[in-house]
Amino acid sequence: MSGPDNSKPSSSVKLVLLGEAAVGKSSLVLRFVNNDFQENKEPTIGAAFLTQKCNLPSRTIKFEIWDTAGQERFASLAPMYYRNAQSALVVYDLTKPTSLTKAKHWVAELQRQASPGIVIALVGNKLDLGAITDDNGNSLRAISTEDAKSYAEDEGLLFFETSAKTGEGVKDVFEAIAGEIPESALKSRGAAGAGMGGGRREAEGVLGGAVDLAREGFGAKEGCAC
């Protein structure tokens, strides 16, 4: 980890998290932004907006993160959040096969409707549970690394397994995405990220109060995660 360096160019990158309810999207963000974890995290309502910086050797990336709600009743809001996003985390729970099916639907929708060139990472979360076996000696893991990785390769996605609980792999996802955003996308970000820096005021204006902005109190902050 390196400290802030004002001599480096700094760019904002819009990132959206998508995935079935309870796969751990908000927990991944809480780990990345605040290095914290909550055992009983409440479901997200609408979406939450947070920011966090990532220091790369050549530049600083400020992630403007839209953490969407996975419950079906909010699905129609998703296009508002992935519109103009330069990057996406599509998250599944590696103990829950239906969540990978849902993740594949999100990937297809992003490929069809999001910005061309969007950097997508497929993330299998709850890696800590993957190491646990039930009373019959069966692993709680339901999706093998190989299967998910081979799907990700076929679709041209970055692929990671993470545990928001232990923190394993979380920073790597954001660092890898930061490193994959093409320089050209950063230079032209006037259009891509327009209007995304306003925090609460901005989101309420645009989205009519649908946004659950940093309800847990982990909003924008100084400092750096990578």
Contact string (CB under 6 A) for ligand GTP, positions 76-115, x = contact: ----------------------------------------
Type of residue found at 59: R
Residue nearer to Mg ion on the CB measure, 82 or 181: 82
Establish if 99 lies at the interface with Mg ion (CB under 5 A). Answer: no
- Name the one residue in this structure whose structure tokens are 């990700």: 152
Q: Candidates 25-33, 50-58, 81-89, 218-226 — which segment interacts with ligand GTP by CB under 6 A?
A: 25-33
Contact string (CB under 5 A) for Mg ion, positions 2-41, x = contact: -----------------------xx---------------
Among 14, 25, 62, 141, binds ligand GTP (CB under 6 A): 25
Q: Where do the H-state alpha helices sit in 85-169?
A: 97-113, 127-130, 145-155
Token pair belonging to 136:
């019959």
- Out of ligand GTP, Mg ion, none, which partner does residue 169 contact, by CB within 5 to 8 A per kind? none
Secondary-structure percent of the chain, ordered helix, strand, coil, rounded to 5: 35, 20, 40
Residue nearer to Mg ion on the CB measure, 47 or 61: 47
Residue 55 neighbours by CB under 8 Å, 6+ apart = 1, 2, 3, 4, 5, 8, 61, 224, 226
Q: β-pairing, 87-93 with 10-19? A: parallel
User: What's the rounded Cα separation, in Å, for the pair 95 and 36?
Assistant: 22
- Out of ligand GTP, Mg ion, none, which partner does residue 27 contact, by CB within 5 to 8 A per kind? ligand GTP
Query: Partners of 92 in the beta sheet?
Result: 124
Sites of contact with ligand GTP (CB under 6 A): 19, 21-27, 38-41, 43-44, 69-71, 125-126, 128-129, 163-165
